[in-house]
Amino acid sequence: MTEYLLIPGADGRAWYWHRVVPELRARGHEAIAVDLPEDNTADLSDYTEAVVDQLGAPPGRLVVVAQSLSGFIAPLVCERVSVERLILVNAMVPAPGETPGQWWANTGQPAARRALAVRDGRDPDAPFDPLVDFFHDVPPEVTTEAMTSPPGAPSEALFADPWPLPSWPEIPTRFLQSRDDRFFPADFQRRTVAARLGIPVEILPGGHLVALSRPSELTDWICES
C-alpha cells in the first residue's frame, strides 16, 4: 500500500481532492488531502509546516501529489519528510529565489494563456472567470458544490516569499499536465518544465481542475509507476 499526500492549489481546500480520495482507496491505497492556511501573513514556511502537521506520523511509502500553486510548496515538504516520489499536476515549477508573484512574468504565462484563448476563439482580453478558465469541463453538480462555500485564496505573504531551495530536491518527479488546461496551456508547461526540471510532461485529458473533472482517469495516472 502507498499513502498519497494530496496538496491543493490556490483555493487551498482539501475538498479539491474529494473525488480522488475514494478512487485511491478503492485501489488499495491510503490518501490524506490537506487544507492550506487561511492566514494572510502565512509564508512558504508556514504553508510547509501546515502540510507536514496534517500528515502526522510519516508512513512507510509516501507519494506527494501537488496541484497548481502547490508546486512551490511540495518540494519543501519533500525536504521535511521521507518521500518516495513527487507528482506535479498542472503545477507551477519554481526557480531558486523566485517568488510565486514573480513566476508569472518570468515564465511568460500571461502571454501563453492569451495566445491559447485566441487559438480557441475566446476573448483574450476577458477578465479571469473561474467558470470559463477553471470549471469549463467540471460536471455542473460539482461546480455548484464548489461555489456553495467561499473559495480560499493564497496569502499575500506567500506571493512575496522567495523559493528557498538552491535546486530541485533529488527525488523522482513526474509532471502530469491536462491537455485542455486554459490557465496553464500544455505547450507552455512543456517549455517551462523542460527548462526548469529537464523532464517530460505527461499529457492527460481534462482542464486545470482535473481532480474534479476526471478523478478516475487522474487516479489511474497517479498510480502508474
Give the DSSP per-residue string, 31-56: EEE-PPP--TT--HHHHHHHHHHHH-
pTM of the complete model beyond 0.75: yes
User: Which helix H or strand E contains 32, and what residues bound it?
Assistant: strand 30-33
* Number of C-beta neighbours around residue 150 at 10 A: 7
Total number of domains constituting the chain: 1
Residue 58: what pLDDT?
67
Quick check: 155 and 50 in contact, CB under 8 A? Answer: no
pLDDT at 151: 72
Q: What is the DSSP letter of 128?
A: P
- What grid cell was written down for 138? 467540471
Residues 189 and 177 sit within 8 Å (Cβ to Cβ): yes
Domain range spanning residue 157? Answer: 3-223
Measured distance CA(50)–CA(14) in Å, rounded: 12
Tell me what pLDDT residue 225 has.
62
CATH code of the domain containing 77: 3.40.50.1820
Tens-digit pLDDT string for the chain (225 aa): 899 999 999 999 999 999 999 999 999 999 999 999 999 999 999 999 999 999 987 667 899 999 999 999 999 999 999 999 999 999 999 999 999 999 999 999 999 999 999 999 999 999 999 999 999 999 999 999 999 987 788 999 999 999 999 999 999 999 999 999 999 999 999 999 999 999 999 999 999 999 999 999 999 999 986
Per this entry, what is the length of the chain? 225
Instruction: Judge whether 34 and 152 are in contact, CB under 8 Å.
Output: no
